[in-house]
Structure 1
């Protein structure tokens, strides 16, 4: 796929925040590996600090180690300010995002083969880019709450989705169904492809060797949680559950304010995405009692590492995991989480062998490759018509 591509996103990893926008980074780097030239327009909020406020207006595009050009135009992001009228606030925010994308266009001197935007919230700004450059527009949907994302679309945004997209990429059958029910699948074609872990980075690793590197006792039975430290991800339920299970340890990895280190908590904090596989390899079970996901990247990576999964009995989770190496529970029930942990712990050899077998059965083709090839095919169909 040797194409010229512009990606519009509200997040992308940077030295200041290396853990955000990993989805977008994976797609961008995947397309570069396929021979494409990729530019990312990722508006940068000017309200982070006084320093960033002034610096934002003078930021120049820069190139990553993978050769991706990053453009960070200033963005007057008012989404976190208090407004009495939420609809008005949302409309203004998306209009300002569109203006920021227009600012980024001054650094573009070529016509891309297509524009891809990540999440519906960015579609209005991405359309400005695609329409100005007279090219095709595709959007990726993987929101944790697709209903809320649709509700936040402005009238203009909904019109763009219905009338002006060349394609929509969904990471979950649940999201795809919702898009159909809301009448948003009209002109655009739809591809449903779940998130996939990078097979080069995420694969079963010897537990003894991984624990030796992290200085974790080989005899410990260890859980791992990977996700933001926010209520939706269920880390507080996990904390309560482990208190009821003696002789068990846990690793907490994520953004936000982590739990305090204790006798049971081996590590709590954020790590780089490159370091994450080594931490996953130290665990016996992956646990994430989330109350809402699109298609969990954390679960995909844990599955690729060969870990048994404890997660939530939700449609979007049940269609993602392997049923023979997973336990799905009510995410708000401490009792069910405890029972799930104990069930796997008491039958660990069986669950582990199935989880590793399932990991080896996962497709090796990267998600970015599947999406890239599909987009090229869709463009070819449109050009013929």
Structure 2
């Protein structure tokens, strides 16, 4: 089968965005499927924000040594405001679609299915598929799908829901957002299937903690908390930092970048971590904490679970498809006292810590990338033959 993926971004050099889409693409290519990716890049990101410009056509090589192409045409993005009755965001969306369609037609692509990563890109992907008479699918994994679509023309959103063949939601929370957008239309809800995010178990897995710490020069006696994510209010980095500052004998690893820098004592690392080293940093920790306010399905949590870490995170709907009391403690992410108490509980109760770590290892077996790709392919094949 030949897949055409449409996305708002794609990993390139240091900018590792939509990595989980890349993982799905490379797995499919290594299974013998033909894949092309169309991920338009904006003039604004290149000229104003000074981001690295991706090649307009880039031939990538998978871990299995197979090739596929990523097309990254430039398009115009306008400020998000209205000029009279004209929404500038809708104009941006129009240019995005035109870039996608132009690449598809000029490069004589012949897909059997159009697969869009996230709903914003899905508006373009489904429109192209409808014009071509092809089935279309959307991976629905935004932290807040409804908010992300507020600037779009409601008719475009509704047309996308009506014409899409299937929607892959990464959590019950994301499925419920589709339910709200469609006003619980039974015909649309029949198109939705929950397939949670997954992890490459060849990259993220449990290692010997004592050996990892020895290699990093950290003591085996230290109790270490790990955090992965952008340093922003939504992810809860400051709330975690404040909770950690109440301990004198707890150490921390903050993997990420952003404006809200953690300021607690005993920070062992704070900043970006190379992808190849992420698993070692996770394995050096005793627990993983992410008091986030909104997710689709957190990749960082899935990776921590794969590394065999007990997780402290938000008692919110987006976590319920991955986390439960076998591997985690769920708390109010806005409550710094609750964050502190959960860390204290795991620090002082090694039996509970070991129990949750074992639960994480078992849970990780359900979250392998190969299993997820199997489920995606099965879902696509089912919907295409209905």
**2:288 match:** 286
What is the match of residue 35 of structure 2?
A: 38
1:64 aligns with 2:60: yes
Higher mean alpha-carbon deviation, 92-101 vs 251-260, is at: 251-260
Cα distance change of structure 1 residues 260 and 182 upon mapping to structure 2, 3 Å threshold: closer
User: 1:221, CA displacement in angstroms?
Assistant: 0.7
Alpha carbons of structure 1 residues 87 and 305: separation in structure 2 relative to 1, 3 Å? farther
Go from structure 1 to structure 2 and tell me whether the alpha carbon gap of 1:151 and 1:258 turns closer, same or farther (over 3 Å shift): closer
Hey, what does 1:114 align to over in structure 2? 113
> What is residue 344 of structure 2 aligned with on the other side?
342
Q: Which runs of 5+ in 1 are unaligned?
A: none
Q: Against the structure 1 CA distance between its residues 312 and 51, is the aligned structure 2 distance closer, same or farther, given a 3 Å change threshold?
A: closer
Per-residue deviation, residues 291-344 of structure 1 (Å, max 9, x unmatched): 111111111111111111111121222342031331122212111111110011
1:301 to 279, 303, 311: 303
Q: Secondary structure at the match of 2:376?
A: helix
Mean Cα deviation higher: 311-320 or 280-289: 311-320
1-side partners of 2:24 and 2:322: how far apart? Answer: 20
The equivalent residue for 2:357 is 355
Contact 1:308–1:351 (8 Å) recurs in 2: yes
Q: Flag structure 2 segments of 5+ consecutive residues without an equivalent.
A: none
Q: Does residue 1:142 correspond to 2:114, yes or no?
A: no
Does the 8 Å contact 2:245/2:265 carry over to 1?
no
In structure 2, relative to structure 1, the CA distance for the partners of 1:241 and 1:294 (3 Å cut) is same
Label 1:153 to 1:356 Cα distance change in 2 as closer, same or farther (>3 A).
farther
The answer to which of 117-126 and 352-361 deviates more is: 352-361
Q: Is the 8 A contact 2:60 2:68 kept in 1?
A: yes
* Structure 1 match to 2:319: 317
Is the CA contact 1:120–1:140 (under 8 Å) kept in the aligned structure 2? yes
Contact 1:305 1:356 in 2 (8 A): no
- Partners of 2:186 and 2:357 in 1: how far apart? 36
Structure 2 CA distance for aligned equivalents of residues 164 and 74 of structure 1:
27
After TM superposition, the score normalised by the length of structure 2 is 0.89
Change (3 A) 1:152 1:352: farther
Alignment partners' CA distance in 1, 2:235 and 2:289: 10
TM-score normalised to the size of structure 1?
Answer: 0.89
1:260–1:242: structure 2 CA closer, same or farther, 3 Å change rule? closer
Structure-1 separation of matches of 2:74 and 2:186: 32
Say whether 1:186 aligns with 2:199.
Answer: no
Q: Kindly state the Cα deviation for residue 151 of structure 1 after the two structures are TM-superposed.
A: 2.9
Q: Secondary structure at the match of 2:383?
A: helix
Contact 1:228/1:256, CA 8 A, preserved across alignment: yes
Distance change in 2, residues 1:107/1:355 (3 Å): farther
Q: Within 5 Å, which residues of 2 pair with 1:318-333?
A: 318-333=320-335
Alignment RMSD = 2.6
Q: SS at 2:61's partner residue?
A: coil
